[in-house]
């Protein structure tokens, strides 16, 4: 199964996913655990750009 699992927004309850998506998630997890689902990528560069301050990060330091 080479299905890419995409789910917009947040998954709050398992009922939101449906049986097919739940099955795909479980199969993906099994393959990932066995390292068959994630091929190695050639060396490269990764960059992260943050355009707005993170409220979650700020609040975690203030508490």
Low-confidence stretches of the chain (pLDDT beneath 50) = 1
Q: Answer whether residue 3 is part of any domain.
A: no
The contacts of residue 17 (CB under 8 Å, 6+ apart) are 7, 11, 25
Kindly report the pTM of this predicted structure. Answer: 0.40
Q: How many folded domains does the chain comprise? A: 1
Q: Answer whether residue 9 is part of any domain.
A: no
Q: How far apart are CA 4 and CA 27, in angstroms?
A: 11
Q: Which domain holds residue 25?
A: 14-62
Q: Answer whether residue 36 is part of any domain.
A: yes
pLDDT given for residue 1 in this prediction: 47
Q: How far apart are CA 57 and CA 63, in angstroms?
A: 10
Q: Answer whether residue 38 is part of any domain.
A: yes
């Amino acid at each position: 199964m080479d299905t890419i699992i995409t789910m917009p927004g947040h998954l709050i309850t398992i009922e939101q996913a449906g049986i097919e998506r739940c099955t795909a998630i479980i199969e993906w997890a099994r393959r990932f655990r066995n390292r068959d689902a994630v091929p190695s990528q050639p060396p490269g560069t990764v960059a992260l750009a943050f355009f707005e301050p993170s409220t979650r990060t700020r609040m975690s330091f203030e508490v």
